[in-house]
Amino acid sequence: MSPRRNRPRAAGPRPGARDMGSGLERTEAWQGEDWVVRRITGTAAAKHYRCPGCDQEIPPGVPHVVTWPSLGAVDDRRHWHGPCWNARDRRGARTLRSRNAPRY
């Protein structure tokens, strides 16, 4: 019996993407600003996060997207569900408020 042959690998990362260990980074324009976008695999996602697009929790082990302004600081990072980030123009980031806060 001959050994199993591996499938050929893809040609490589997309143009403009760079490998940063846990995922590929790319830059996208949104709201007149350049944003760095990094995809996080399920195995690299180890904490709970709250998606600003839908205000739902992203549990550990779920692949998602981390974004921040290219000129921003570490505190500016936000963790989004992939579909929420793709629909960000229709779903803008929600403001954080407590359950008992008045709704204007």
pLDDT digits (tens, 9 = 90+) for 26-73: 999 888 889 999 999 989 988 999 999 999 999 999 999 999 998 888
Task: Compute how many other C-beta atoms are within 10 angstroms of the C-beta atom of residue 89.
Answer: 8
CA atoms within 13 A on the CB side of 101: 7
Residue written as tokens 């996602």? 45
Q: Which amino acid is at 26?
A: R
Q: Give the whole-angstrom CA distance, residue 83 versus residue 86.
A: 5
Higher pLDDT, 63 or 13: 63
The amino acid present at 72, given as its one-letter code, is G
Q: Provide the residue type at 6 as one letter.
A: N
Helix or strand holding residue 65 (H, E): strand 64-69
Report the run of H or E that residue 85 belongs to, with start and end: helix 82-86
The b-or-e profile of 29-39 (16+ CB within 10 A means b, else e) is eeeeeebbbbb
- The residue that leads in pLDDT, 20 or 104, is 104
